[in-house]
A and B are shown apart, each in its own frame.
Chain A
C-alpha cells in the first residue's frame, strides 16, 4: 500500500500480513509510518494505493468489532469515571450494557484497579491510566489487538503484567500486533516482525530468522585458556568469554568440533546472535 499526506510520503510499497494467533512486532523509528500503517489497517485512514483486508475481507464494521486498538497517543475522557469509561468503550465494540459492565469489572480486577472503578480517570496516575486503557483494549477479548507502545510509562511489575497478558492471548490463539521501541520485549514476545523505515518495509519475517540473518559470523567461547595466545582471532569480552570470528567456510558446530579437537577446554559455547536493537540501529541509524 501507499499513503501520502500532501508532499510527504508516509508509506510506499508496504506489503505484509499478520497471521492468526501470532504476536507480530511492528518496528521502526519515530515517524517511520507505523501509526499510519496501523490506522490504515484498522480503517481509520484510507490508503491512497493498495488493498487492505481484515479477517479476509475489506475492513468493515463487523470485522472492526473483532479488533481493539491501543494508540500510542493515549486518549481517555479524563472527567469520566473508570468503570463508566470502560463500559462506554465496551458498548462501542458491540457489548450489551450489562455485558460491558461485567467485562469492565472483570478487566479492572485483572489489571489490579478494582479499587478505583468509581474514581474519575483524572485522579489516576499515568501508569494506572495506561492500565485502564489496556483493560479497555482487552475487555472484549478481541481476535486482533493492536498495541502501540503498551509498556511505556509502566513500572517493571506492570511491564511483567502486560507481558503476561500478551502471552495469554497467544496461548489462546488470539493475534496481537505489538508496536514498541523496547527491543528486548520484541525478542521475548514476537513471533514475526516488520521493520519500517521512512515509509518502506525494510525487514519482514520470522524473528529468529531475521536475528540469524543479521548476526555476525562469530561465536562466544567460555574457557580458562588464552585463545589469542593460541593464534585464534578472538577478543576477550568484559562480560566474560571470548568473541571468536569464524572462518568464512566454518559452521558454529563444525568450529566447536575443531576447537575441542585442538585441545581447547570449552566450558561454554554459543553462536553469537544479533540483538534486535543492534539490527534496528544498523538498519535505520545509517541515514540519521
Chain B
C-alpha cells in the first residue's frame, strides 16, 4: 500500500466530511445545544426553587386532642411558633382562625390533630384552593410533625436517651472503601450509585455513538462513490486496500475529532465532580484514558467491516440495512449493561472483553465501574485481538469492497462473492 495515495484519499474524505453542515452541527452544535438545554433546565429549576423558598413556609397546627407539647413552641408576640428545618409551625387554639389564615394564603397547609387522635391516629392535612398542586410534595414538614407528636406523646414518660431512640431508632452512618482503599465516611448512597453508574453509562454511550456516527460516514461515502459511479476511476488509480484505508483514516479522523469534542464534556463533568466529590467517589480516569485508543481500534475494526458490506449494497438505504448487523453487535454490551454494572468482572464481562465487536465498550465499562477487577493483560489482550481482527477485516474487506463496488443490481450470492474475491 502506498502511504501517499492513502493520505490523498484520507485528506479528501476528511475535508469532504468536516465541511458539511451536518457534521459541524453534530460535532459542535450538539454539545452547545445540550449545554443550553441543561443550563436552561437548571436555571428554570433554580428559579422556581428560590421562588418557592421565598414563599410562605408557614404551616398551621390545631391541637384538638390536646396532646402537643407546648414547651417546644416559642412565643413570638403572642403567637406560638415551632421552627424546624426552616419550616415554621404556628399553633392555633382556634380552628376558625387557622382556617382564615389558610384561606388568606398565610399558611401553606393546616394540620388538625383531631379529638380522636389517640385512638385513630388521624391528623387532617388541609390545603387551601390557592395552594399549588403538589406543593406539599418534597417538603419535610410531615416527618417533622410526626417527630413532634412522638416527642409530645413520650414527654416525661421515658428518660432522655431512650425517648430519643424510640423516636429515632437508627441513624445509618454509611461508608465504603474509597479509591485508595481508605475507609471513607459520609457517603451519600444515592449520589455514589449515580456517579458510579452514570459515568460508565455515559462514556459507553458516547463511545458507541461516536463509533456508529463515524461508521455512518463510511457507509455514506461508499454509497456516494457507488451511486456517483466514480468508483471505476478510483479503482483504476489506487488499489481497493488504499481506498479502504484512506477512507478509514480520513473519516476516522473526523470521528475522532467528534469523539474528542464530545468526550471533553465528560472530562469536564468528571473534573468538576472530582473537585466536589474527590473523597467520595472515584472518577474513572483509567477508562477515560483508554477510551480514545479503544475508539480508534474499535472504529478501524467496525469501520472496515462496514465499508466492505456497505459496498455490497446497491444504494444508501440498502447499504445501511446491510451494515445494521455490525452495529447491533457493537451495541450488545449496552443491552446487557445492567449485568455489566452489577458484575463488571463476571463471566459475561470477561467474555465480551475478548470479542472484537464488543470489546471497546466492555473494556471501557469494566474500567469505569471497577478498574481493579480487570487485569492489564485483559486490556492489552483485547486490544491485540482487535488489531488482529482489524487487519483481517481490512484484508477481506478490501476484496469484498472491490467486488461490491463493481456489482450493480441484485445482491450477489455468497458463492459468487467468494469467486470474485479470490
Q: Does A29 contact B (CB under 8 A)?
A: no
Smallest Cβ distance from B82 to chain A, in angstroms? 73
Q: B237–A44 contact, CB under 8 A?
A: no
A254 contacts partner chain B, Cβ-Cβ < 8 Å: no
Majority DSSP secondary structure for residues of B touching A: helix
Assembled-state Cα–Cα distance A44/B231 (Å): 10
Chain A positions within 8 Å of B238 at CB level = 61, 92
Known: A44-B236, A89-B237. A75 touches B231 (CB 8 A): yes
Q: How near does chain A come to B336, taking the closest CB pair, in angstroms?
A: 41
- Which residues of chain A are near B230, meaning CB under 8 Å? 75-77
CA distance A5 to B416 in the complex (A): 8
For the complex formed, measure the closest distance between the CB of A11 and the CB atoms of chain B, giving whole angstroms.
Answer: 15
Nearest CB in chain A: distance from B378 CB, A: 40
B369 to chain A minimum Cβ distance, whole angstroms, is: 44
Given A6-B416, A64-B236, A77-B224, answer yes or no on A91-B8 (Cβ-Cβ < 8 Å): yes
Cα–Cα, bound, A123→B285 (Å): 50
B421 nearest CB across to chain A (Å): 10
A71 contacts B233, C-beta separation under 8 Å: yes
Cα separation A13 to B234 with both chains bound (whole Å): 28
Which of B2, B228, B237 has the most C-beta atoms of chain A within 10 angstroms of its own C-beta? B237
Q: 1/0 per residue B217-235: CB within 8 Å of A? A: 0000000110011111111
The smallest C-beta distance from A286 to any residue of chain B, in angstroms, reads 28
Cα A65 to Cα B4 in complex, Å, equals 13
Residues of B with C-beta under 8 A to A80: 16
The interface residues of chain A, by DSSP majority, are classed as loop
Verify A136–B237 contact, CB threshold 8 A. no
| Cα–Cα, bound, A59→B416 (Å) | 23
**Chain B proximity mask over A199-230: 1 for CB below 8 Å, otherwise 0:** 00000000000000000000000000000000
Question: What CA separation (Å) do A91 and B6 show in the bound complex?
Answer: 10
**Which one of A5, A6, A75, A136 contacts B228 once the chains associate, using CB atoms below 8 Å?**
A75
Chain A positions within 8 Å of B16 at CB level: 77, 79-80
Q: Which of B228, B231, B234 has the most CB of A within 10 A?
A: B228
Asked if A243 CB lies within 8 Å of chain B CBs, one says no
Give the contacting residue for A71; candidates B224, B229, B402, B413; CB below 8 A: B229
In the complex the two chains form, what is the Cα distance from A88 to B413 in whole Å? 34
Contact partner, B232, options A39, A61, A77, A94, Cβ 8 Å = A39
Please determine whether B235 and A44 come into contact, CB atoms closer than 8 angstroms.
yes
Given contacts A44-B406, A45-B406, A92-B9, contact A61 B239 (CB under 8 A): yes
Nearest CB of B to A26, in Å: 15
Is A32's beta carbon under 8 Å from chain B? Answer: no
Number of A residues near B (Cβ < 8 Å) is: 29
Contact of A92 among B231, B234, B402, B406 (CB under 8 A): B234
CB distance from A45 to the nearest CB of B (A): 7
Chain B residue numbers with a CB within 8 Å of A71 are: 229, 232-233
B418 at the interface (CB under 8 A from A): no
* B12 contacts chain A at the CB level, 8 A cutoff: yes
Distance in Å from the Cβ of A68 to the closest Cβ of chain B? 8
Residues in chain B near residue A138, CB distance under 8 A: none
Q: Which residues of B contact A75 (CB under 8 A)?
A: 225, 228-233
Decide if A151 is an interface residue (CB 8 Å cutoff).
no
- Which of A44, A77, A79 has the largest number of chain B CB atoms within 10 A? A44
Q: Which of B235-287 contact A (CB under 8 A)?
A: 235-239
User: Which chain B residue shows the least CB distance to A41?
Assistant: B236
State whether B12 touches A69 (Cβ < 8 A). no
Task: Kindly supply a per-residue 1/0 record for chain A positions 64-86, scoring 1 wherever the CB is within 8 Å of any chain B CB and 0 otherwise.
Answer: 11011101011111111000000
A44-B224 Cα distance, complex, nearest whole Å: 19
Q: Roughly how many angstroms separate A61 CA and B5 CA in the complex, as a whole number?
A: 11
Cα(A43)–Cα(B241), bound, Å: 14
Task: Give every chain A residue within 8 A of B237 (Cβ-Cβ).
Answer: 64-65, 89, 92-93
A189 within 8 A of partner (CB):
no
Which residues on A sit within 8 Å (CB–CB) of B406? 39, 44-45
- What CA separation (Å) do A76 and B12 show in the bound complex? 13
- The interface residues of chain B lying within 8 Å CB-to-CB of A67 are 236
* B146 to A: closest C-beta gap in Å: 70
Q: Is the CB of B229 within 8 A of A92?
A: no
Tell me the B205-225 residues at the A interface (CB within 8 Å).
224-225
Structural contact, B12 and A88, CB atoms closer than 8 A: yes
- Residues of the B chain whose Cβ atoms lie less than 8 Å from the Cβ of A5: 416
B228 and A61 within 8 A (CB): no
B420 to chain A, nearest CB (A): 8
Decide: A89 and B233 in contact? CB cutoff 8 A. yes
Contact A76 B236 (CB under 8 A): no
Annotate A40-65 by CB proximity to B: 1 below 8 A, 0 otherwise: 00111100000000000000010011
Determine whether the beta carbon of A69 is less than 8 Å from that of B232: yes
Please, which residue of chain A has its CB at the minimum distance from the CB of B408?
A73
CB distance from A65 to the nearest CB of B (A): 8
How far, in angstroms, from A73 to B225 measured CA to CA in the complex?
Answer: 12
Cβ contact within 8 Å between B232 and A78:
no
Contacts of B228 on A, CB cut-off 8 Å?
75-78
CB distance from B3 to the nearest CB of A (A): 12
Q: Which chain B positions have C-beta within 8 A of A61?
A: 2, 238-239
CA A68 to CA B232, docked complex, whole Å: 11
Residues of B near A68 (CB, < 8 A) are: 236
Per-residue interface assignment for chain B, residues 395 to 422, with 1 indicating a CB less than 8 Å from any chain A CB and 0 otherwise: 0000000100010000001001000000
Pick 8 A–B contacts, CB within 8 A, sort by A: A44-B236, A44-B406, A45-B406, A61-B239, A74-B229, A75-B231, A91-B8, A92-B238
7 nearest CB pairs, A to B: A75-B230, A75-B229, A91-B8, A92-B237, A69-B236, A71-B232, A73-B229
